[in-house]
Structure 1
Amino acid sequence: MKTSFKSKSILLLSAIVIAGCSRKKDNFVSRNFHAVATEYNTLYNGYNVLEQGREDLNNNYQDNYWEILPIERMTVTDEVTLPGQSTNNNFAKAEEKAIKAIQKHGMNIKGKEKNPQIDEAYLLLGKARYFDQRFVPSMEAFNYILYKYPASDKINQAKIWREKTNLRLENDELAITNLKRLLFQEELKGQDLADASSMLAQAYINTKSLDSAITQLEIASNATKSNDERGRYKFIQGQLYNALQKPDSANMAFEKVIELNRKTPRIYMISAQIEKAKNFDYNSGNKMEFLELLTDLEENRENRPFLDKIYYQIAEYHKTNESDTIAASYYNKSLRTGSRDNMLNAMSYQNLGNMSFDKTEYKNAGAYYDSTMLNLKQNTKLFREIKRKRDNLDDVIFYEDVAVRNDSILSLVNMSNEERVTYFTDYTNKLKEKAEALKEEAETAKLIAEQTSKNKNTNINSRGLEKTSTFYFYNPVTVAYGKNEFLQNWGERQLQDNWRWSNKGGVSTNQNVNASELTSTKDSELFSPEFYISKIPVEQKAIDSLMKDRNFAYYQLGLIYKEKFKEYHLAKDKLLGLLKSNPEERLILPSKYNLYKIYELLGENGEAEIAKNDIITNYPDSRYAAILMNPNADLGEDENSPEYIYETLYKKFKDQDYANVIEQCDTYISRFEGEKIVPKFEFLKAVSKARLYGFESYNESINYIALNYPNSPEGAKAQDMLENVMPLLSKSEFQSNEGSKHFKAIYQFTDAENEEIDEFIKKLNEAVSKIEYFELSTSKDMYNENTILVVVHGLRSIQAANGFGELLKEKKQNINREYFGISSQNYQIVQIHKNLDEYLKSL
């Protein structure tokens, strides 16, 4: 009975307390009940999930140490977050907790909030939205605190977070004004001072006021309670000093980061060491001590996660110290760490590419530049520079291959028969030795593999039990056997698609021996010198073709090295080699002129004067001689200049003299070989051939321009046309007349004299001028070399086009020549594909 009474008393008392804790009653019990429930339940849980979300942001954020670090680690995306969506579930939960605190524990009585924790709830709400990248709703929450709770102890935090949001909304000037006012009006201390000063520093960085940013970071690093933040602020200070070209001050800032040691994340300490290394003075600094420091960083086990950066910096040291071989090995070490720093990988690949290029290993350089671009963001300045260099390498690789191959073949051509026998005997003897060694290794590996297979690849584990290895590649002996078997059956192959094709074989003598022939021959032939000798060309026509291609390759290489890569010594060697090789007449003069320019650029004035006198003496009527004799004269409008000739040909093109334009273009393309205007002549020729011969000829010409002039504007335009225009022009099916609004009447003249056609056009124009209810006009269009089409434009239906003759009869015009009607779309197809006969048959 007593227990029952006590229970009832407790329930009654609880009911009285709960009733007294109404959100609508302003009393001591209600205020404290809801304040405690808000702080220690809802907000506590809300801040816990908010911190979990912030940790996720920090863990997923990848700092780019190649640029000035942002104050706050947070990736801002361009994706629009809709209401109800969230980038991180923790922030959504934190927002829910804040809203729950406001809705369930808010005590807004007579327009005044009685729960002292609700301002904290709005602060949590703003933070959750901020980290969820919903900056405008976040700003609303912070402004609400400033508007409704001016006496709140969180008012300064709300102001700081509002300015953080302004920075994210790119309102930098407004944030600077508000933060400076806050720091002036309020005596901030501790973390509030650190947060306000660091955000002001970020605003200054955004507006390029780096000096002011350094001052604010100094205040923030001294005021913050977090060593993580202190290490980051000091590191950013060092970066800013470097940006201002003050390496000594930068090193002092980085040294303070290093002194923090394990108090701050190790990445800051390592990066500070790296930045100090970048500032090392190679002229006055102690290189041995510097190398010892880098070596200590490399050997420290705690630095294993950062070996990519350390290896790269050691490589930079050796590259600056002109130890390219060691530098290359460390760049490769850095790449093999599997670094997530794409910029670091890109720089390693770029340096390796530059080293290969300097050694004239152009294929390797091209591969390294390809890898560089894969690690760079497209459309950045560095990406465009590498892409331009890589595109230029395509021509270098192609022409170097031609030059090396043809030189090798011609060297064999010039050997006596005895020299050839000696050369290939030595070569085949080496082949035999290699084949015998491989055979012995394969037999040994096969025996061991068979024995291992009988034993079932077993071994004994630590408990004395049999343990079976089932994976083939875990056994080095069987792997070796497999490799030898592959080499014996297939030879050396590159890692690429369709590797089994015979022409992918790796056997080569660097001479004129086709790999597809080698892989299909018997062993007896492979080891026979006569087999290789039989492949050497003997016909003079083939030999002349090899020499012509080799000389042209030398000429192109000379121009590429001179114009695109500024490698003047390489350019000089190629052009001198060309002139010693009995080149075609058309290559001699431009080669000598380019050599003259190269001598000037290299400061070899004596050689330049000799080259100049040679051109003036032996080629006095040439344009090059005119330039050398009067370098200040404007020869752009000279009737012999390429520009003047091009304009003349273009006028002929507009006059539809296509056959003459094509013939003249061929002449001038040969004459101006190597000059920038040649692709323009090629394009004019291509368009003229299109007008005369149709789509197939046009497509072939555009493809030729794209392949042979890829780095010119015309080449780029041709490539774009191949991808976007030619597929549309390739359609040769005639269209239905339904839906067409423009039609023509066509008079056809085959093998007619110009006087006859002009007389007809004159008569037709008189007739057309009298037809008032159509806006008609005429034109004279070439269809092919033998056919001219006289076209009447402006007809609005196929019936009007087909009945055009009746219109003339109404006007009593005596024009009785046969004609046909056609839509503008189909006329375009007829002119593009030259299929007029097909159209006439369809009528």
Structure 2
Amino acid sequence: MILLLFVAAYSCSTKKDTIISRNFHAITTKFNVLFNGQEAFNKGIEEVNTGYKDDWFSRLPIEPIVFEEDKIVLESFNSNPGAGFGGASEEEKKELTPFERAEEKAVKAIQKHGMNIDGTEHNSQIDNAYLLLGKSRYYSQRFIPAIDAFNYVIANYPQANLIAETKIWRAKANTRIDNEETAIEAMKLLLVIRDTLEADLPDEIKEQGHTALAMAYVKSDSLQNAKKHLQLATRTLKNRDQGARNLFILGQMYSDENKKDSAFYVFEKLVNFKKAPYKYKIHANIELAKNFSKDSLSTTLLERMQKLIKNRDNRPYLDELYYQTGVLHQNNDSITLALNNYNNSLRAKNGSDKQKTFTYEKLGDLYFKDSEYQYASAYYDSVLQVSKDTLDIRIRRIKRKYKNLASLIKFEAVVANNDSIVRIATLPKDEQKLFFESYIEKLKKADEDTAQLRLNQMAFGNSVAGLQSGKKGSWYFYNNQSTSFGKTEFQKIWGNRKLEDNWKWSEKATIGNKVTKDSAQVNTVNLRYDLDSYLHTIPDRKETIDSLKVDRNQALYELGLIYKEQFKNQNLAKSRLERLATLDPKEELILPINWHLYQIYKNLGDANQSEIYKNVILTQYPDTKFAQIILNPNVILEEEVTVNEVEKEYKKMYYLYKEGKFEEVVLKIDAFIVTVPSSNLIPKFELLKAYAVGKYKDIEAYKIALEFVGVNYGSTEEGKKAKEIILQIEK
């Protein structure tokens, strides 16, 4: 028996070239070691595919995997690429990734079952082991050791069936280490030259080869060549996953070049590719809606998008489908339908943050175009709140837009707030009281409705929960949680009231002339419903009311300039300045107001109105620079006002600032800077003006003035200084 075992072991030796030995090691390698290694490798690929999330808003990478930057492992190897393995502890083995496990099995196959006798390998499975070894190292981001394994196969098994596949993997590894030129030359030898000579490569290998070539050309920024090989790689579509991906990327490339017809053709081909994974087909439909070039297709595409939206299987993609439907409606000038679809996109469950940034931006742009700047600002702010990529060029552009709107929004708020206070302050006392009584009643009604809605929601939720648990749903007064909530809400609104007639009254007569105060008033007073608390906030001093008017007038003037110069919205600029002209502005503002209105009506082509303001300037202010410009329109204003003169004016205003004449500084700066609109010293004036505002107004007004300097002159020293001060204020 022992003799038989010895003979069997000797016959299966890796050093003996016998039929028994070759077959034993080949079968053991294939069905035992390599089988387990391939299973581990497949598991690793599955994890990569599951964990990788495509960014459908950018051009997809040809290979769906993310490698860490600057993590290329350099190792020293013996002539045997499997060297350096073995002897791992049990703890280390537990920590192996699937690709490391596959590599371990490949090394085991090479070391234990390799039959390299006199320089010739007699185990027909060893070349497969080396290929598995190289591929495992590739996915472990160990590209140079992987190339070693591939080179070993190519050098020692030149006639192997897998030699072409090995060369393709070697080319991909070379591309990953920035040797794309080497990869391109190797793939040309394999595909282009061999294709013209023998044309015996299987379609699957040709697809892989052209895909690898496209990867190398993308890495070398040769997109035309990349497109050419993606086209060749998608002729047969044997590999459904990579084939669908190649088609999608090819369509994206055409779309980036604005070749809409070519892009449309490629995406339509992908939609009709029955074996393509669904994620590519659904996004191809979305891309079709982006790349149609004929208006006649718009209706057809809208019908297709509506059909996709109704399909319950597409719920994970609703945010994208609604968004693109909105874009189609917007292109057709159906703005109401566009708005509805954009809002549906935002409400879609599991919508991606990146899609939300695009949707918020579209809504912001629509409102901006319609001069609804406050709404636009809110949507741009939502983009910035949702986005995580602060370095993205698009996000930075939106941030600039939002900052440009910041001053405008705050000045509009000053106008609205001060208008409201001044209007109420000028009412007779009885009318003030009636105004706030009406306001309080509306407030109470809104609070009651909100509380009742929340109670109803809780009751409904409790009923549903009861039905789901197989129990009978109950009235909410029998639910301790609902009752407790309702009691808290009642006390919050009405206080601690007795259960009696007319319990809503704040004061009640009881016996004779004796007045009993309501217990809610005795214990607590809800200031939201307290009339006196509102009446006491109304300013009654003339100085305070005048100050509110001055601030409002200044804000109206700033708004007129912002709308005119920054947003080029002449109509809104006109309305703000014309209203300011009716509000008895300070003398220093009258000339600039007339000058800006003269320019605005001139820009709008209204010669009659323009002439009115022109005559005001020429008759009432004949010796000013404005009058000289009107009379001599061909003379450039800056030529008449030298740099030295501007500096002298700045010094005058600076001395006024030092003397504590802050309001005068603000008014004089406003009147002067319009005469030198292109002067390099404008930021200095604006910063000095902000300092002056900070001296006689509150911190919020100071911050608004600083933000105006920071936003409009951000690249100057003055703009940077303003930003620094804002940061200090906010700490």
Q: Which residue of 1 aligns with 2:59?
A: 68
Report the 3-state secondary structure (helix = DSSP H, G, I; strand = E; otherwise coil) of the residue aligned with 2:68. Answer: coil
- Tell me if the contact between 2:240 and 2:276 (Cα under 8 Å) persists in the aligned partners: yes
Task: Compare CA radii of gyration and give the structure with the larger one.
Answer: 1
From 269, 274, 280, the counterpart of 1:268: 280
**Equivalent residue letter for 1:70:** P
Matches within 5 A, 1:655-804: 662=658, 670-673=667-670, 677-681=681-685, 706-707=706-707, 709-711=709-711, 712-713=713-714, 714=717, 716-718=719-721, 721=724
Report the 3-state secondary structure (helix = DSSP H, G, I; strand = E; otherwise coil) of the residue aligned with 1:253. Answer: helix
Q: Which residue of 1 aligns with 2:341?
A: 330
Deviation at 1:201, TM superposition (A): 2.6
Change (3 A) 1:371 1:101: farther
From 127, 130, 139, the counterpart of 1:122: 130
Q: Deviations over 1:594-648 (max 9, x none)?
A: 344444554545545554554455434434445555556565475x45x435656
Q: Which residue of 2 aligns with 1:297?
A: 308
**Equivalent residue letter for 1:38:** T
- Tell me if the contact between 1:442 and 1:485 (Cα under 8 Å) persists in the aligned partners: no
Deviation at 1:684, TM superposition (A): 7.7
Is 1:225 matched with 2:271? no
From 185, 206, 221, the counterpart of 1:193: 206
Deviation at 1:134, TM superposition (A): 2.5
- Tell me if the contact between 1:679 and 1:715 (Cα under 8 Å) persists in the aligned partners: yes
TM-score (norm 1): 0.68
- Tell me if the contact between 1:442 and 1:481 (Cα under 8 Å) persists in the aligned partners: no
From 405, 413, 428, the counterpart of 1:393: 405
- Tell me if the contact between 1:665 and 1:682 (Cα under 8 Å) persists in the aligned partners: no
Deviation at 1:272, TM superposition (A): 1.4
- Tell me if the contact between 2:476 and 2:482 (Cα under 8 Å) persists in the aligned partners: no
Deviation at 1:74, TM superposition (A): 0.9
Report the 3-state secondary structure (helix = DSSP H, G, I; strand = E; otherwise coil) of the residue aligned with 2:208. Answer: helix
Is 1:179 matched with 2:181? no
From 588, 591, 598, the counterpart of 1:589: 591
Deviation at 1:193, TM superposition (A): 0.2
- Tell me if the contact between 2:172 and 2:216 (Cα under 8 Å) persists in the aligned partners: no
Q: Which residue of 2 aligns with 1:798?
A: none
- Tell me if the contact between 2:26 and 2:125 (Cα under 8 Å) persists in the aligned partners: yes
**Equivalent residue letter for 2:566:** K
Deviation at 1:266, TM superposition (A): 1.4
Q: Which residue of 2 aligns with 1:832?
A: none
Change (3 A) 1:599 1:21: farther
From 168, 175, 178, the counterpart of 1:167: 175
Is 1:40 matched with 2:31? yes
Deviation at 1:125, TM superposition (A): 1.8
Q: Which residue of 2 aligns with 1:546?
A: 548
Deviation at 1:387, TM superposition (A): 0.9
Q: Deviations over 1:368-414 (max 9, x none)?
A: 32331232511221111111112223212211110001112233345
- Tell me if the contact between 1:458 and 1:467 (Cα under 8 Å) persists in the aligned partners: yes
Percent of aligned pairs with the same amino acid: 38
**Equivalent residue letter for 2:44:** G
Change (3 A) 1:352 1:633: same
Q: Which residue of 1 aligns with 2:289?
A: 277
Structure 2, unaligned runs of 5 or more: 76-84, 86-91, 497-520, 693-698
Distance 2:455 2:169 in 1: 74
Q: Which residue of 2 aligns with 1:314?
A: 325
Report the 3-state secondary structure (helix = DSSP H, G, I; strand = E; otherwise coil) of the residue aligned with 1:291. Answer: helix
**Equivalent residue letter for 2:402:** R
Distance 1:607 1:473 in 2: 70
Deviates more, 1:552-561 or 1:148-157: 148-157
**Equivalent residue letter for 2:8:** V
Change (3 A) 1:659 1:363: closer
Q: Which residue of 1 aligns with 2:257?
A: 244
Q: Deviations over 1:114-173 (max 9, x none)?
A: 433333222212211221223233233323333343333322112211221233234444
Change (3 A) 1:560 1:24: farther
Distance 2:371 2:535 in 1: 30
Is 1:133 matched with 2:141? yes
Q: Which has the higher contact order (CA 8 A, sep 6+)?
A: 2
Distance 2:395 2:456 in 1: 48
Deviation at 1:181, TM superposition (A): 2.7
Q: Which residue of 1 aligns with 2:573?
A: 571
Is 1:17 matched with 2:2? no
Change (3 A) 1:78 1:554: same
Q: CA RMSD in A?
A: 4.7
Q: Which residue of 1 aligns with 2:42?
A: 51
Q: Deviations over 1:275-333 (max 9, x none)?
A: 1122346844453x443322211111221222121121222233334444443343233
Q: Deviations over 1:23-55 (max 9, x none)?
A: 334444444333333222222221211111111
**Equivalent residue letter for 1:590:** P
Distance 1:473 1:231 in 2: 56
Is 1:89 matched with 2:97? yes
Q: Which residue of 1 aligns with 2:419?
A: 407
Distance 1:721 1:432 in 2: 44
Deviation at 1:429, TM superposition (A): 5.4
Q: Which residue of 2 aligns with 1:104?
A: 112
- Tell me if the contact between 1:193 and 1:223 (Cα under 8 Å) persists in the aligned partners: no
- In the alignment of these two chains, the number of paired residues is 665
Change (3 A) 1:630 1:138: farther
Change (3 A) 1:445 1:160: closer
Change (3 A) 1:139 1:277: same
Change (3 A) 1:686 1:634: same
Q: Which residue of 2 aligns with 1:383?
A: 395
Q: Which residue of 2 aligns with 1:341?
A: 352
Q: Deviations over 1:437-476 (max 9, x none)?
A: 789x699989x98xx99xx99958887x789999999987
Deviates more, 1:158-167 or 1:18-27: 18-27
Report the 3-state secondary structure (helix = DSSP H, G, I; strand = E; otherwise coil) of the residue aligned with 1:260. Answer: coil
Distance 1:24 1:627 in 2: 103
Report the 3-state secondary structure (helix = DSSP H, G, I; strand = E; otherwise coil) of the residue aligned with 1:552. Answer: helix
Distance 1:428 1:471 in 2: 29
- Tell me if the contact between 1:636 and 1:644 (Cα under 8 Å) persists in the aligned partners: no
- Tell me if the contact between 1:221 and 1:229 (Cα under 8 Å) persists in the aligned partners: no
Distance 2:343 2:121 in 1: 65
- Tell me if the contact between 1:172 and 1:207 (Cα under 8 Å) persists in the aligned partners: yes
Distance 1:301 1:437 in 2: 35
- Tell me if the contact between 1:637 and 1:644 (Cα under 8 Å) persists in the aligned partners: no
TM-score (norm 2): 0.77
Distance 1:566 1:273 in 2: 39
**Equivalent residue letter for 2:265:** M
- Tell me if the contact between 1:458 and 1:466 (Cα under 8 Å) persists in the aligned partners: no
- Tell me if the contact between 1:146 and 1:158 (Cα under 8 Å) persists in the aligned partners: yes
From 350, 361, 365, the counterpart of 1:350: 361
Structure 1, unaligned runs of 5 or more: 1-7, 491-517, 689-698, 728-843
Distance 2:537 2:597 in 1: 37
Q: Which residue of 1 aligns with 2:152?
A: 144
Change (3 A) 1:473 1:169: farther
- Tell me if the contact between 1:438 and 1:488 (Cα under 8 Å) persists in the aligned partners: no
Change (3 A) 1:284 1:591: farther
Q: Which residue of 1 aligns with 2:695?
A: none
